[in-house]
Structures are given as C-alpha cells and as structure tokens.
Amino acid sequence: MRSIAFLFVITVTGFAAARSARVNYATYLGGSLDEQATAIAVDSAGNVYVAGTTSSPDFPLTSKAFGAPAKDHACAFVTKLNANATGIVWSVCLANSMGGGIGLDSAGNVYVSTFGTSNISSITKLTPGADQIIYAHSLGASASAIAVDPTGNVLAVGSAGEGFATTAGAYRTKLIAETCYSGAGVGMTPSPCSDAFVTKLRADGGVAYATYLGGSRPDQARAVAVDAEGNAWITGDTTSADFPVTAGAAQPTFHGEITLGPLRFGDAFVTKLDPSGSKLLYSTYLGGSAPDSGFAIAVDGAGAAYVAGGTHSADFPTTAAAAQRTYGGGAFPQFRGDAFVVKLSPAGSIVYSTFLAATQSGAANGIVVDGIGNAYVGTSPNTSVLSLDGSSVLTSPAFSGLFAVSNQGAVFFAGQTLSHLFFSTLDAVQPRFGGGVYDAMIVKTEFAQPALPWITNIVNAAGLRSGTPAFYPVFQVAPGEIITILGSGFDTNTSVVFDGLPAPIIYVQANQINAVVPFGIAGPSTEIALKQSGKSIALGTMDVLDAVPALFTIDVSGHGQAAVLNQDGTVNSATNRAARGSVISVFLTGAGRMTPAQPDGSLGPLAPPFPVPILGVGASIGRILYAGAAPGLVAGVVQVNILISNEVGSGEKVPLVVYIGNYASGFIGDTTVGVR
C-alpha cells in the first residue's frame, strides 16, 4: 500500500443551510394507508385545525358519527390539535368525500369544503366540538377556495359551467361564454366556456348570493379573502379579453391569450365584490406578456389586499423599491417561472409589486398577512416573509406548503410527507410515520422564541445529497458515513444517536452538525434521535444501504474538482494535472463497513493492518492499488489510490467515479480530475 497524507479539511462549513424558522413542534398525522393535508387554520388559543383526505381505517378519530375511512373509499378528515400538538382535541371524518379548505368563525365553529367523485363541492359547518353538523350545503360547482368572516358568512370561489344556480340581483346571473372544446382529436366535444363563480353562504347555510364572474373565454377563480366590511376579494386567471374591469383599474388591458395545444394561458385578475354580490367595486387584469395566474389572496385590517401567484412574464409590472425587480424564472413554456406578490390599496392602486424566486414550483401558492402587515408568502421550497413595504425579504424559513399565522406571529405549516423525508419532535402527538406512502404533517414555527433543535435534512458530507444517485432524494445512509445534518437550534449540548448508538460529532454550529453514522447500525432502516442535554427532541428514519459513497471536492460543493493528491503530493487541479500512468489518491465517505472493524470515532491506523471496505472497490479511470481507512483521519474517511490508465483521455475535467460494490460515488461528470 502506498500511503499519501491527506491535506484537505473535510468539515463542510461551505455548505450553507437555508435560514430556518424556530421549530416548536413537528408531528405526523396519519394511519397505515395514505393521507393528504389540504388546509390548515389556527384559533386565538393556538389550537390547530387540519383538513385533508385519508383512506386509513386506523386514522386517529375521536368519533365516527359522520363517517369512517376505508381502503376502498376515502373520507375528508378534520382534526383539531391542542396548542402544543401533544394531543388531539377532536378528530372526525366526513364520509365519501375528499378534503378542501377550512375556516373558523369567532364562535369557534368550523367550516370545511369537500368534494366528491363528481367534483361538486360542498360546505360543511361543524360545531366547536365537532359533535354536530350544523349544515352541509352543495355548491353545485367545483370550489377552489373558501374564506370565512367572523360572523360565519362563507365565501366560496371556483369554476362553474352552464347550469350553475345564481341568485336574483347577483352581478352576473347568466353564463356569457364562447364555445370551448374538451377532449382530444376527433373526440373533442364543444360546450360553453366556464366562468369563475362566487357564492356567499349566510351563517345558517342559506345562500346570500351566487354569481358568475368572467368574460367570454375560460376564467378560473382560485382564491378569496373577505375584508372587515364584508367585501370579497377574488384572484385567479382569465383568458377573456372582455373580462370585466372597473374605472381606475391598475391594468385595464388584457395582454393576450397564449395557446399551447389544448391549454390556454392569459393574465391574472383581481376583483373586489360588494357584500351583496351585485356590484364590482374594483376589478383589474394583472400580468405581462406571458402566462400569469393569481393563486392566493389576503386582506389586512385596513382593507388592503395582498395577491400572490406565478408568472412567466419578464415584463410583469414591479415597483421601484421592490425586493426583486427582475424576472429570474425560465422562458415559457418550461415549468418554472417566478412567484409574484402585489399589494393593492383598498381602492385598488398598487402599493408594491415584486417578483420572488420560487425554485421548485415557479409560483407562490399561499399568502397570509400578520397583524402589522408583513406578508408570509409560500414560495417552495421556502416561505418568504416580506417587509411592510415589500422592499426586502425579512426571513425565509425552510418550509413551504399550506400555512396559517396566529395572532402571536407563530407560523403553522401542513402538508404530506414520505416516512423518510420528515423529522418529528418526540413529544408530538404522533412522532412516528403511520404507514402507507404519505402521512399528513404539521409544523409550528416561531421567530421570537428560543429554538428547539430540529432536523430539516441529512446529506452525505462529501456529495451533499440524500442517498445514492440511483435513488436520490430518498434518505439513505451507510454505516460509517460522514453526514451533514442541517436544521436549527443546534449547540454543543446537541447529540445524535442512531438506533440508540451515539454518533461521533465532528463539527457543530447553530444550523449544521457533521457526524459519523455508527458502524453498528443495521438495515433495512435506522431511527435517528436528536438529543439536547440528554433529552430526546427530534426523531426521524432513514433507509440503511451497504454503501452510500461520495467523493470530497475541493470547494466542498459535492460537484466539480475532486479532492485529489497527485503522485508528487501536490493538489490536483485543472492547471496541475496528473499524468496517465501515475498514482493519485482520492478521498470519500460512505463506503460502509470495514474489515477489520473500526471503532466509532477512532482514527485510521498509521501502520498495517489497514481497515478496508467489505465491498469491492473500483474506479472509472484506472486500477485500484489501495482502498481503505485514510491514515490518521477519523473513521469513515476512505482513501483510494488509483493507477490512472494509459487509455484514459486527458483534460482539465476528466469524469471520476469510484464504485463501492455496485454503488457509484455520483453521476458521470459529478466529480472530475485533471489528467494529462
């Protein structure tokens, strides 16, 4: 064996974790089959209400009076958790339906929108204890969203076709639409284009008004909010050049329809409808020359409206002091665009307008305004908190999805998660995954309170990915793998255990821990517990593989130039390349168990016998001369000496892959080495 000294610092301080909110609790909610959360609300005492859909016969219900789930038919669940999420106050299921939106009134009554197999939505009003259904009203159309005012009036919006039951005196009682076609090819059938609709229910379930809203082409209302005067603010998207606009509209002109096969795209719209549903107080287009859509809306105590959505328009109108004035998304028709946020005064003038990067969804999917006017915007994978004037992002917690904000400024998130993509807090009502493919999950965060330690992600410390290239991003670890744990609230009193075995800690700061997975873990999965001062706080599960190899890189990014020593002991680079026929040393982690076994936390021996991986080792560019524990470095770092083949091509960036058994250290081209 030719031993070469290791010259690189392996602590991954260069990988910046996303700024995280302070986690108060995180819990699963689900049974042995599948769950999906569809809405979340919070009351003045901090109790959380979650709506969704379940097919699990063992979903945690406190009553089956209104129905129960089964494998062959789902039901809409509504669950109330106490303020600490340590217990379920009540949990019920509405039979033969799927969950939609949720809202509360000042008396504590709960309102849930659901829909059945016909896609027709209903509104169900439950008593504060969920022991009675006060009313259940079918809307006769498909609802996208609901909003509830303090006195129990419900606003529902969505899309409706011909035959929707409107009320006398409503703004528009008849569908005025051109012909649209559904289906494909010779099977396309003509029918009137659909319009947006708005329905208001009184506290007793009676219809206060029901109206169409739109022009002659398809229109879709996607979100609604109600102000203190009972006006309904609606946003969505339209392809109608004759969508109704009012005098003083911020953007009175339609930018034009874009057609992509059977799909049509146009502008977002914002409309303010009076409490009687008979008059448009304000209505405007909102967009640029490419597709735009409004997905969320909120109003503050002064009556200003905050609209969030997605755009592919580089010329979407922004204001001078906006947090992001320049479009950063891709060109249509690729999936990703940018999110946008627009604040409108009660009269409809633009107070601020800004783009917001949304790297996964290309749109904002939710917006909530706190008591002082900060806007919380769902921009996957984060939630951006905008300043009062929209000029800056105050913070960007690493959560997204459905969310609500309490009067105290706490933010509550809900969604669904795979078993190995979520870490719960141990004192939560359900700290472990229930089963199936998905469970619902609920997280409470705060910015003003001390943080609990919590894990957002675990990645290989060299490759900075979760799992192997073949299965990424499923969470997978191997015995002896050096990992980077990302999260919040970490300090020197924080420790990590795998199946009760302590993980040696290499490095710790508030948002990051580097540790070594104990060699003694055994598959098929391992339970990870995060502890602080000896008390277990957070819990998670990861799959265990025989190896999860990844090469260390010069810039600790997990990509590009590998951390390689040339035969003369110098650092390999594009300008200091290794000769074909020479020996290089590369360094990796995630090679799995070694023989003879290495004690956790020990250093690699400086003299034989050297521990070597149980699995065989190979390389893409030559023959292995040595593969084993890196002398003098912490157990888990493996040194591989490779005799570069004379057949390998030369270049500044020659792809380098090391194989541990059948497990590759990365995709071809992930990591490179300079060869001459």
Mark which of 511, 528, 544 sits at the end of a domain: 544
Q: For 625-648, what is each residue's pLDDT tens digit? A: 999 999 999 999 999 999 999 999
Same domain flag for 189 and 317: yes
Same domain flag for 653 and 580: yes
Same domain flag for 221 and 322: yes
16 domain residue, yes or no = no
Same domain flag for 433 and 582: no
Same domain flag for 321 and 458: no
**Does residue 45 contact residue 108 with C-beta atoms inside 8 Å?**
no
Q: Can you give the pLDDT at residue 55?
A: 95
Among 148-162, 425-439, 592-606, whose mean pLDDT is lowest? 425-439
Q: Which residues contact 329 (CB under 8 A, 6 or more apart)?
A: 311, 312, 336, 337, 338, 357, 358, 362
Phi, psi angles (nearest 5°) of residue 547: -155, 145
The CA distances from residue 505 to 163, 355, 568, 620, in Å, are 66, 41, 33, 32
- Would you give the distance in Å from CA 156 to the centre of its chain? 26
Same domain flag for 507 and 538: yes
520 domain residue, yes or no = yes
180 domain residue, yes or no = no
Q: Can you give the pLDDT at residue 562?
A: 96
**The pair of three-digit structure tokens given for residue 235, joined into one six-digit string:** 């946003």
Mark which of 524, 544, 564 sits at the end of a domain: 544
Same domain flag for 366 and 337: yes
CA distance 180 to 373: 41
Give the single-character DSSP code of 73: B
337 domain residue, yes or no = yes
Q: For 272-298, what is each residue's pLDDT tens digit? A: 999 999 999 999 999 999 999 999 999
15 domain residue, yes or no = no
Residue 623 has pLDDT above 70, yes or no: yes
Q: Can you give the pLDDT at residue 360?
A: 61
User: CB burial class (10 A; 0-12, 13-18, 19+) of residue 418?
Assistant: middle
Helix (H, G, I), strand (E, B) or coil at 48: strand
**Does residue 419 contact residue 445 with C-beta atoms inside 8 Å?**
no
Q: Which amino acid is at 283?
A: S
pLDDT band at 6 (very low <50, low <70, confident <90, very high): very low
CA atoms lying within 13 Å on the CB side of residue 455? 31
Q: What is the CATH number of the domain that holds 535?
A: 2.60.40.10
3 domain residue, yes or no = no
Residue 73 has pLDDT above 90, yes or no: no
Number of domains in the chain: 4
- Would you give the distance in Å from CA 188 to the centre of its chain? 36
pLDDT band at 610 (very low <50, low <70, confident <90, very high): very high
- Would you give the distance in Å from CA 227 to the centre of its chain? 29
pLDDT band at 191 (very low <50, low <70, confident <90, very high): confident
585 domain residue, yes or no = yes
Q: What is the CATH number of the domain that holds 244?
A: 2.40.128.630
The average pLDDT across 95-107 equals 96
Helix (H, G, I), strand (E, B) or coil at 47: coil
- Residue 123 has a CB neighbour count (10 Å cut-off) of 24
Which one, of 276, 282, 278, lies nearest residue 297 by Cα?
Answer: 282
Q: Which amino acid is at 471?
A: F
The average pLDDT across 202-227 equals 96
Q: Which residues contact 420 (CB under 8 A, 6 or more apart)?
A: 474, 475, 525, 540, 541, 542, 543
Residue 317 has pLDDT above 70, yes or no: yes
The CA distances from residue 46 to 24, 330, 409, in Å, are 12, 40, 10
Which one, of 42, 165, 127, 13, lies nearest residue 413 by Cα?
Answer: 42
Angle among Cα 379, 380, 382 to the nearest 5 degrees reads 75
10 domain residue, yes or no = no
N- to C-terminal Cα separation, the chain: 24
Q: Can you give the pLDDT at residue 14?
A: 29
The CA distances from residue 556 to 8, 324, 526, in Å, are 10, 29, 27
Phi, psi angles (nearest 5°) of residue 76: -85, 120
Pair type for strands 505-509 and 501-502: unpaired
CA distance 423 to 486: 11
Residue 29 has pLDDT above 70, yes or no: yes
User: In terms of residue numbers, what domain contains 468?
Assistant: 454-544
Mark which of 365, 400, 435 sits at the end of a domain: 400
**pTM for the complete prediction?**
0.83
Same domain flag for 435 and 390: no
CA distance 139 to 221: 14
Same domain flag for 382 and 411: no
CA distance 187 to 545: 49
CA distance 180 to 182: 7
Same domain flag for 266 and 216: yes
Same domain flag for 230 and 351: yes
- Would you give the distance in Å from CA 228 to the centre of its chain? 31
**Does residue 69 contact residue 59 with C-beta atoms inside 8 Å?**
yes
Q: For 195-214, what is each residue's pLDDT tens digit? A: 999 999 999 999 999 999 99
pLDDT band at 187 (very low <50, low <70, confident <90, very high): low
Using the structure block, give the residue that is written with the tokens 């979100």: 223
Sign, CA torsion 499/504/508/513: negative
CA distance 664 to 591: 10
Same domain flag for 602 and 654: yes
Among 92-106, 417-431, 659-673, whose mean pLDDT is lowest? 417-431
Q: Which amino acid is at 525?
A: S
Which residue did the predictor score with more confidence, 465 or 164? Answer: 164
Q: What is the CATH number of the domain that holds 671?
A: 2.60.40
